[in-house]
Amino acid sequence: MLKVENLRKYFGGIKAVDNVSFEVRENSITALIGPNGSGKTTLFNLISGVIEKDSGKIILDKKNITNCSVNKISNIGVSRIFQKSRLFSNLSVRENLLIAIDNEDLKFWKNFLNKNKITREKESKVKKMLKLVEMSEFENKKASELSYGQKRLIELGRAILNPHKILLLDEPVAGVTPRLRNEISKLLTKMREEGETILLIEHDMNFALNLADNVIVMDEGKIIASGKPEKIKNNKKVLNAYLGE
Amino acid sequence: MGIVIQLLINSLIAGAIYALVAAGFSLIYSTNKFVHFAHGSVIAFSAYMLYLFYSILKFNFGIAVILTILFSGVFGYLLNLIYKKLRERNASSVILLIASVGLLILIESLILILFGADVKTIGFLKIAKGLEIFGGIITPLQIWIIIISLLLLGFLYLFMKKTKIGKAMRAVADNKDVAEIVGISSEKIYSYSFIIGSLIAGIAGILVGLEQNLEPAMGTNLMIKGFTGAVIGGIGSVSGAILGSFLLGFTENYGIWFLPSGYKDAIAFTLLFIFLLFKPRGILGKKWGGDK
């Protein structure tokens, strides 16, 4: 599904992503783990086009997306959430979700003449998502009025609703309550069963290893290990990177 | 009583014109995040286009108006292409602001070269006797100015709230990076905001052109008033810009009840400075930054 080949990004002398290659299989959860500053978020930013690569190739579903703009990459099929929630603060919760599935036809005259109404199907998708994340009563609240955990859930909902082939989740459970963490874990497992492909960054090793089918471990911009969670748990290099031995 | 009503009428007319200028300006500012001073030149451009089509080329008035409005939209689109080139070279908001002032002067100078410095009159409306309302006088054109402005502003409000482009514009205005992440092309939205803002400025230019004489620098004064209205209402908020413009119109006109009419501009700028000093975000201004 997603193929990253010899990807490189340096910031001055810092090798943020250094010759990284890996593949994410379709219909799987792949966890990207590693200590702080190991290059995980930079890698997400490269895949989603937020920053430009120095060299390398990114292929999604046989399509080269390496030099595409952020919105084009999103429309090709990469949907993501950020480490710190980014919602449209002045839009309502409903509008935040709706905009992810309702921006495909921005033809000027069609909109000008208001012939481009929101379909019932899209409305019902938004309602379902709000129910799923248990936030139906917040539908008309402005996003800026939500708590941190609520913002996280709406951002996750928006990323899921945004038509995609792969979901990039940057620490989806950071800062949420243990109950919500379980709920999100169940939701992601269910999504995989329904055929979703997910690449996630997670600091909580247990959460990542319990959920993922495959694990990629990064340190200092390089991949130091990859494979099944059971294998990664006992990998010496990984333990060294985390414990600094 | 008569003077109160007359000042009320004058305030509404001034507020309606300022609101049209400020709404377009604010729409462009909210999405593009720079002060597009050349917006004033679109007003002068459209007034002169109407003069060209109607008074020189002798087109039917309705056709001249439609052509003027369309040309204003195209003109706005072309202005955005210049800014786009600068954005591609990573120009900051300050560079874009300087470019906009340069464009304003350049376009006004081109109008001066093409049409001359002497004032022009479109002459569509013959001098009409004003209607008397509770001792105040208002001409039919002035009634039309208020009605058309209110209808346009209402239409703009609905457009921003109900259409996909309107929502996408609000999304880009709120957080351009996140809008891109959900698949919205910010470049496309920049173009749309320039086209819509310039269409509105084009209509404002037509109304002002019919009401007053034409001169090449006519857009600058209106732009300054529109900008003041936008700052008072909360820069970046289209509803705020409308509210601020009407407040400006009322303050200016009721101010000259107490002061000589030559102080009209001074009253406007005093109000601007009061807001800049004590409420820089304006009446409906948003908290800067949002969710980043």
The tens place of each residue's pLDDT in chain B, 292 residues long, gives 778 899 999 999 999 999 999 999 999 999 999 999 999 999 999 999 999 999 999 999 999 999 999 999 999 999 999 999 999 999 999 999 999 999 999 999 999 999 999 999 998 777 667 888 888 888 888 999 999 999 999 999 988 888 888 889 999 999 999 999 999 999 999 999 999 999 999 999 999 999 889 999 999 999 999 999 999 998 878 889 999 999 999 999 999 888 888 888 899 889 999 999 999 888 887 654 444 3
Q: Which helix (H) or strand (E) holds B240?
A: helix B238-258
The whole-number pLDDT of residue B285 equals 74
Query: Percent of chain B beyond pLDDT 90?
Result: 73
Q: Chain A closest CA to B273's CA: distance in Å?
A: 27
**Structural domain B2-278, CATH architecture:** Orthogonal Bundle (1.10)
CB contact under 8 A, B164 and A106: yes
Tell me how far apart the alpha carbons of residues A235 and B90 are, in angstroms, rounded to a whole number: 45
Q: Touching check for B185 and chain A: CB below 8 Å?
A: yes
What are the angstrom distances between the C-alpha of B188 and each of B84, B128, B184, B291?
11, 44, 8, 23
CB contact under 8 A, A111 and B184: no
Which of B164, B178, B181 is facing A102, going by the closest CB pair? B164
Q: Touching check for B61 and chain A: CB below 8 Å?
A: no
The whole-number pLDDT of residue A209 equals 86
E-strand stretches of chain B: 131-133, 136-138
DSSP state of B1: -
Beta pairing partners, A168: A80, A199
The whole-number pLDDT of residue B130 equals 80
- In order, the DSSP letters of A114-151 are T--PPPHHHHHHHHHHHHHTT-GGGTTSBGGGS-HHHH
Q: What is the mean pLDDT of chain A?
A: 87
Which of A100, A102, A106 is facing B188, going by the closest CB pair? A106
The whole-number pLDDT of residue B291 equals 40
CB contact under 8 A, A108 and B165: yes
The whole-number pLDDT of residue B27 equals 93
**Structural domain A2-243, CATH architecture:** 3-Layer(aba) Sandwich (3.40)
- In order, the DSSP letters of A85-125 are ----TTSBHHHHHHHHHS-S---HHHHHTT--PPPHHHHHH
The pLDDT-based confidence of A109 (bands split at 50, 70, 90) is: low
The pLDDT-based confidence of A161 (bands split at 50, 70, 90) is: very high
What is the residue type of A158?
R
- In order, the DSSP letters of A10-40 are EETTEEEEEEEEEEE-TT-EEEEE-STTSSH
The pLDDT-based confidence of A199 (bands split at 50, 70, 90) is: very high
The pLDDT-based confidence of A107 (bands split at 50, 70, 90) is: low
Interface confidence (ipTM) of the complex:
0.85
Between residues A104 and A7, which one has the greater pLDDT? A7
The whole-number pLDDT of residue B45 equals 97
Q: Touching check for A140 and chain B: CB below 8 Å?
A: no
| Mean pLDDT, residues A175-203 | 87
Tell me how far apart the alpha carbons of residues B265 and B269 are, in angstroms, rounded to a whole number: 6
The whole-number pLDDT of residue A244 equals 62
Query: Percent of chain A beyond pLDDT 70?
Result: 92
The whole-number pLDDT of residue A116 equals 56
Q: Report whether A223 contacts A43 (CB < 8 A).
A: no
Q: B70, B84, B158, B178: which to substitute to probe chain A, counting the most A Cβ within 10 Å?
A: B178
What is the residue type of B248?
L
The whole-number pLDDT of residue B127 equals 67
Q: Residue A117: closest CA among chain B residues belongs to which residue?
A: B163
Query: Per residue in A227-243, pLDDT tens?
Result: 898 888 888 887 777 76
CB contact under 8 A, B165 and A111: yes
Query: Per residue in A70-100, pLDDT tens?
Result: 999 999 999 999 988 899 988 999 999 998 8
The whole-number pLDDT of residue A21 equals 94
CB atoms within 10 A of CB B18: 31
